[in-house]
Structure 1
C-alpha cells in the first residue's frame, strides 16, 4: 500500500472538536494526577505498580468492551498491540530506571521532545502530512514547556546533564512517541478496532503483561506486601482515571487527529501542574513562570485555530 494511502480523509468538524475537547480533559486528568502519586508509600516497586495500574484500567474498561461481542484481534492487530505494549513498557521502564540516576529537570527537558519525535515518526510512516506551520507550533510548545521546566527548577541545584541515564530516558521518549503513531497506522490499515475502548483495552492489557514481566525480573514482588489501604485507593484512582480514561481519550482523539497533534497536548500538563503548585504554595509564584505559560497556551491556541481552518 502506498504511503499516501495511509492518510485518511479529514474527519467532520464535530468529530474534530470532540477530539480536542477530550484532549483538554486529558490534560486536566494527567496534570492533577501527580499530587495523587505523591500520596503513595515510598519503597514500592514502580514497574509492578504500573502493571497493576494498567490491569485495573483494563478491568474498568471491560464493561464498555463487553457491551457487544468482542473478538480477538487479527494476527497483524495482535502483533501491533504487542509492539504498542512494548512501547509502553519501554517508556515506563526507562522513566523508572532513569529517575534514580538523573534530575527531574533533565527528564522534563527531554520529555518535551515527544510531540516533535511523534511528528517525525509520523512523517516516516506516512501518517503525518508535511506542514511547516505545524512544525513551528510544535517547536513553540516545546520551548514553552522547556521554560516551565526551568521555572520549576528555579532556586534548585538541578542542572541539565547528558549521560547514559538521559540517553536511556530519551529512548523511552521515542517509545512513548511511537505509541500514537502505531495506533494511527493500525487504524488506517484496519488492523485495530474502530472502537476506542477496544483499542485502549488491548493495548493496556498487553502493556500490563509486558511491564509486569519486566517488573518480576528486575524488582522484588514481596515489596507489594507493604501496600496500605490508602495505597490501594490511590492506585485504583490512577488505574481508572489516569490510565483508563486518559488512554481512552487519547485513542478516541487518534481516530481524528494526527499523532503530533495528540501528543502536543502534553505541553499543557506542566501548566496544569503549575496552577496546582500555586494553589498549594502561592509564595512560589514569580515572573519566570510567565514566558513558558504564554508559549504553551499560544501553541495550543494556534493548533486549534489551524485545525479549524483546515476543516
Structure 2
C-alpha cells in the first residue's frame, strides 16, 4: 500500500508540499487576468502530462470500471474546491476565507472518523487545534491595516462547502486504499483524480466563462502556468497522495497550516517593513504544531 514509504519520509514530503504551495500564490497573483476555471483546467491537464510517464509504468495504470466512480468523486472534490474558491473570492473577504480554510484539517479528521480511516484519540485533534490557532493568528496578522472583516454570508457559505470538498479528497484516497479500491501507485491515483477534475472544472469554465479570454495569455503567463502545472500541481498532489498511503487525512491536511507561514516569509522578503511582533504568536504555534507532527512521524517510523 505504502510503496515502502516510512511515516517520517511522508511527513518530510509534506513539508516540501507546504513550501511548493506557499510559493505558488505569488505566481498566481502576477498572472494576467485570465478565466480562472479554464486556467485551472489547463493547469490540471499540464500536471497530468507531467505525471503520465510515471503513472503509465504501473501495471494498474488503466482503471477498472469499479474505480471510475471513486476517481470521479475525487475529481469532483478538486473541481468543487477550486470552483468554490474562485466564486467566493468575489463574494467574501480574504480574512473570512483564510479563517474558514483552517477548518480543513479538522474537517478531514471528522470525515476520516466517519469513513473509518482515523482513530478516535486526543493527540491529533489537539495538534490540529494548535495549528489552526496559529494559522488564524497569521491570517489576522496579515489583515492588520488592510480592508476586510470577518463575516459569514453566501460567499463564505460557498467557500466552506469548498473546504469540505477539499477535506474529503484525502479521506476518499485513504478509504480507497484501505478497501483495495485504489492502486498503491501514488502517481496513478494523482493522474486520474486530476484528469477527471480537469474535465469537470473545464466544463464549468465553458459554461460560465469567456474561454476566448485565454487568447490574451502572454509568454510569462505560459511559463507560470507550466510552473504551476508541473510543480505546484503535479508534484504537490503526488506528494499528498504519497503521504496519504501512510498518514491519516488529518495529519496530511495539517500541513496546510504551514502554507501561510511560507507566504509570510515571502512577504517579508518583498516588504521587510511589514515585519512586526503581531506575526510572532501565530508563527510559533504553527511551528510547534508541525514539530509535534514530525515527532509523531519519527515515533511511528
Taking structure 2 as the reference length, what is the TM-score of the superposition?
A: 0.97
Identify the residue that residue 36 of structure 1 maps to in structure 2: 27
**C-alpha distance in 1 between matches for 2:47 and 2:299:** 36
Identify the residue that residue 174 of structure 1 maps to in structure 2: 164
Aligned partner of 1:116 among 72, 97, 106: 106
- Do structure 1's residue 19 and structure 2's residue 4 form an aligned pair? no
- Do structure 1's residue 253 and structure 2's residue 243 form an aligned pair? yes
Contact 1:74 1:191 in 2 (8 A): no
**C-alpha distance in 1 between matches for 2:60 and 2:54:** 10
Contact 1:87 1:178 in 2 (8 A): yes
* Matched position secondary structure for 1:67: coil
Identify the residue that residue 238 of structure 1 maps to in structure 2: 228
Extract unaligned runs of 5+ from structure 1. Answer: 1-7
Aligned partner of 2:54 among 64, 77, 95: 64
- 1:195 Cα offset (Å): 0.5
- 1:309 Cα offset (Å): 2.9
Taking structure 1 as the reference length, what is the TM-score of the superposition?
A: 0.94
Distance 1:170 1:228, change over 3 A: same
Aligned partner of 1:142 among 121, 132, 135: 132
Contact 2:55 2:61 in 1 (8 A): no
- 1:65 Cα offset (Å): 1.5
- 1:308 Cα offset (Å): 2.7
Identify the residue that residue 270 of structure 2 maps to in structure 1: 280
Contact 1:127 1:181 in 2 (8 A): yes
Identify the residue that residue 286 of structure 2 maps to in structure 1: 296
- 1:286 Cα offset (Å): 0.4
Distance 1:235 1:102, change over 3 A: same
Contact 1:116 1:135 in 2 (8 A): yes
Number of equivalences = 301
Distance 1:128 1:62, change over 3 A: same
* Matched position secondary structure for 1:127: coil
Identify the residue that residue 210 of structure 1 maps to in structure 2: 200
Note the alpha carbon deviations across 1:257-300, whole angstroms, 9 max, x for none. Answer: 00000000000000000001001100000000000000000011
**C-alpha distance in 1 between matches for 2:66 and 2:200:** 18
CA RMSD of aligned residues (A): 1.5
Contact 2:61 2:188 in 1 (8 A): no
Note the alpha carbon deviations across 1:53-97, whole angstroms, 9 max, x for none. Answer: 000000011111223445421223111000001111110010000
**C-alpha distance in 1 between matches for 2:65 and 2:106:** 31
